[in-house]
Amino acid sequence: MTATSKPVQVQEPGDNARPPQPVSLGVAFWYWLKLGFISFGGPAGQIAIMHQDLVERRRWISDRRFLHALNYCMVLPGPEAQQLATYIGWLMHETRGGLVAGTLFVLPSLFILIGLSWIYMAYGSAPAIAGILYGIKPAVTAVVVFAAYRIGSRALKNGVLLAIAAAAFLAIFALGMPFPLIVISAAIIGIAAATALFRYRVGIMPVIAGSGVLGLLYTAIAGLNGA
């Protein structure tokens, strides 16, 4: 794979950290190939691995852009982790990048799944194989829990978002509400909160310049809401 694509720098305005660095299509190809072999732990683990690699270590995409893309992919039908990888690949290298990321995200996993399925069908009753599969379960659970913590600690930045997340958790596990209804309800709450903040801004902006106290109050409210 040759690095013939023009490097694209993906930077989101407003990020205070070191800006994302340009990356060639060839370098991205090898990363997506490696990710296909190490992305264990289901969607939560895969998303956490991408966040740690692409945002924190390699700085290929900003944290804000990553979380925005994750929000979009979560409300779409289908595997959100693959959608997120495809979108990030497209974001960095347009159509070719999206095709490379989306394909390599699932292709290695397919071969691994075929191999593990054959081993299970042939030797699944053997005590050693059964013990290995039994021991993997708690490890995978730990990966998923840690991944949820990592993403949640960055996405839930204030009390309002934490309350929505807690309500969604109770709705899923205690009330058994369908996932689409929970997503729609959260979207309605978000629209209402954004509308209220916008109206507050429109109402207070003309007087901010004349009052230092109101200016400080506005800044505090905007910061609480993640503005």
Express each pLDDT in 165-176 by its tens digit: 888 888 888 888
pLDDT band at 164 (very low <50, low <70, confident <90, very high): confident
pLDDT at residue 1 is higher than 60 = no
Q: 156 near 70, Cβ under 8 Å?
A: no
Express as a percent the part of the chain with pLDDT over 70. 76
Quick one: pLDDT at residue 155? 72
Average pLDDT over residues 94-102: 92
Quick one: pLDDT at residue 87? 93
Most confident of the ranges 2-16, 84-98, 148-162, 163-177: 84-98
Work out the mean pLDDT of the chain and round it to a whole number. Answer: 75
Look at residue 8 and give its three-state secondary structure.
strand
Which of 89, 19, 16, 14 has its CA nearest to residue 50? 89
Most confident of the ranges 92-96, 160-164, 186-190, 200-204: 92-96
Three-state SS for 15-41 is CCCCCCCCECHHHHHHHHHHHHHHCCC
The alpha carbons of the chain give a radius of gyration, in whole angstroms, of 22
Q: How many CB atoms lie within 10 A of CB 54?
A: 26
Q: Provide the token pair at 144.
A: 């998923």
pLDDT at residue 152 is higher than 50 = yes
Q: Provide the token pair at 103.
A: 């394909």
Q: Provide the token pair at 123.
A: 């030797």
Look at residue 177 and give its three-state secondary structure.
coil
pLDDT band at 227 (very low <50, low <70, confident <90, very high): very low
pLDDT at residue 49 is higher than 90 = no
Which contacts qualify for 93-98: CB closer than 8 Å, 24 or more apart?
93/5, 93/8, 93/25, 93/28, 94/8, 96/5, 96/25, 97/5, 97/25, 97/28
CA dihedral 62, 63, 68, 72 (to 10 degrees): 90
Express as a percent the part of the chain with pLDDT over 90. 11
- Measured between its terminal Cα atoms, the distance across the chain in Å is 42
Distance (Å, rounded) from C-alpha 224 to C-alpha 159?
8
pLDDT band at 201 (very low <50, low <70, confident <90, very high): low
